[in-house]
Amino acid sequence: MLSNKLTYMKSTVRENLSFGSSPDNPDGLQLKITFDEDTKTAYGDYTVPEKFQGSPDVIHPGIIATILDEIMAKINEAMNFKTTTGELTIRFLQPAQVNQPLHLRGWFVKKNKKVIENRAEIENEIGKIVARGKGKYIELDS
């Protein structure tokens, strides 16, 4: 009986409810990130609503980390790498304000066997970088 349940669970198609990028997750960020194949870069704009603040009027650092991870994951997806996050290093340079436009960008760095490395940055509306991220992603077996 247990094996029937497992078989059913494996064959069920699951809806993409990614917190970072799914348009179908009303509680998520719903990031829209574009990938440029020629330069292997990802970019987008996003304004974080106040429901994701930490300190008053400041974006929670976990949300900043999520945005950076999503940018780098989008690069992997666009390059047809099926991955999971292995390591994130985030440098918070200055507070980022809620309800203020942010510019997002990331780029592919290298692939070594099953590890893909990417970088990403978030810039505020006056051009100051508020956070930088380095990510290592583990390529999954297909």
Listing DSSP states for 114-142 in one string gives TEEEEEEEEEETTS-EEEEEEEEEEEPP-
Out of 3.10.129.10, 3.40.50.300, 3.40.640.10, 3.30.70.360, the CATH code matching 33-139 is 3.10.129.10
Q: How far apart are CA 134 and CA 125, in angstroms?
A: 22
**How is the chain split into domains, by residue range?**
33-139
Predicted structure pTM score? 0.87
Is there a contact between 72 and 111 (Cβ–Cβ < 8 Å)?
A: no
Q: How far is CA 38 from CA 2, 35, 108, 116, in A?
A: 49, 9, 11, 18
Q: Give 107's contacts (C-beta < 8 A, 6+ positions apart).
A: 39, 40, 41, 42, 75, 118, 119, 120
Cα angle 47, 85, 97 (rounded to 5 degrees) comes to 20
User: For residue 7, what pLDDT is reported?
Assistant: 47
Q: pLDDT tens per residue, the chain (142 residues)? A: 444 454 444 545 567 788 888 888 889 899 999 999 999 999 999 999 999 999 999 999 999 999 999 999 999 999 999 999 999 999 999 999 999 999 999 999 999 999 999 999 999 999 999 999 999 999 998 6
